[in-house]
Amino acid sequence: MSYKLSKQDVCCLFEKLSEKYDIYAPKRVKNAGRFSETDIVQYDRISDLSEIVWDEKSTYPMKEVLSPIQQTLFYFTEDEYRASKGKTRPMLIFARPCDINAMKIQARIYAGNGGFVDMYYQRMHDLAKYILMPCNGGDDTCFCVSMGTNTTDLYSMAVKPVDDGMLVEVTDEDLAPYFEKAEAAEFAPEFVQENELKAVIPEIPDKEVLNALKKHPMWKQFNGRCISCGACTIACSTCTCFTTRDVIYGDNPEVGERRRVSASCQIDTFAKVAGGGDYRTTAGDRMRYKMLHKFHDYKARFGESHMCVGCGRCTGRCPEFISITVTLRKMYDAVEEIKKELGR
């Protein structure tokens, strides 16, 4: 069912929803940008609808609500430990289609991977409902249409602010009681049909082409350009890698908490293992690993979409101006060259 709400109705609705739900949305953080006097837009809990940034892509992804950059896994004393309790209040999260589609990928990795369920992710996932917010096509780094992530039906409510209030579609029975007295209206969310930027996705037909691509000289050009800072993966809507870190309380090293902290495959020690082995020693090796993970390996393992949702945040955050779509074009050209050489 769809409804038209006046400005006052919208305020009342938000107040009523806030009694039961914690509400998250993209919010402006003043002067927190990379350059002086610049802002970022980041997901956070809101207490008023006016805090929502409607017309700008968030600098960092929605995934930070469900899988924060750091979170406590458990607390320990000398011979005991207790798992962290986590959140208990349900959440409503304002999000665009790319971020909602990214949650499907995150859920697949955290909770649908070989039968193992990550309880820390799952308990957050189970508390979340999504409010689809309109997208105006994003900025010049977005390519959701190329990745097929420009639409979604995974939402409990879709909204569109209009001059005198808000249009709302409600698809979730749990939310229907909030709209019993609302005025019915014609409204269905519209999805972006074209981005300014289009990406070409390479088709890797077999292992022979894949192995030749791994050895292709294209990856070497990143050795002199990528500084292995990891900013691209921290801003990525779908990356899930993490490491753990113990925080010790006071002088006793046996009392503290273990946290998990986001990790990046682009950092130079990421693939270092016990005994001194290191499987990706150059920035080019690591770029190859990331690109193949996003545009081949995930799909080869799970058989659905690629792991990239085309949000373009990695391009936006890279201090070396390395664009994911330009890299993808280079990968596409390399694959075509290899296919030609191998007579495919």
Residues that bind ligand SF4 (CB under 6 A): 226-232, 235-238, 266, 294, 308-314, 317-320, 322, 324
- Quick one: 91 or 229, whose CB is closer to ligand SF4? 229
- Quick one: 90 or 319, whose CB is closer to ligand SF4? 319
CB of 227 to ligand SF4, least distance (A): 5
User: CB-based contacts of 5: which residues, under 8 Å, 6+ apart?
Assistant: 13, 165, 166, 167, 168, 182, 183
CB of 75 to ligand SF4, least distance (A): 33
CB of 229 to ligand SF4, least distance (A): 4
Helix, strand, coil percentages in the chain from 3-state DSSP, rounded to 5: 35, 20, 45
Neighbours of 274 (CB within 10 A): 5
- Quick one: 127 or 311, whose CB is closer to ligand SF4? 311
- 67 burial type by CB count under 10 A (0-12 exposed, 13-18 middle, 19+ buried): buried
Q: Which among 322, 313, 141 is positioned nearest to 225, based on CA atoms?
A: 322
E strand or H helix that includes residue 144: helix 144-147
- Quick one: 259 or 288, whose CB is closer to ligand SF4? 288
φ, ψ dihedrals at 70, nearest 5°: -140, 145
CB of 232 to ligand SF4, least distance (A): 3
CB of 106 to ligand SF4, least distance (A): 11
CB of 285 to ligand SF4, least distance (A): 12
| Two tokens, residue 250 | 């006071």
- Quick one: 58 or 156, whose CB is closer to ligand SF4? 58
Round to whole Å and give the CA distance between 139 and 317.
13
- Quick one: 317 or 339, whose CB is closer to ligand SF4? 317
E-assigned strands of 53-90? 70-76, 81-83
Round to whole Å and give the CA distance between 46 and 58.
15
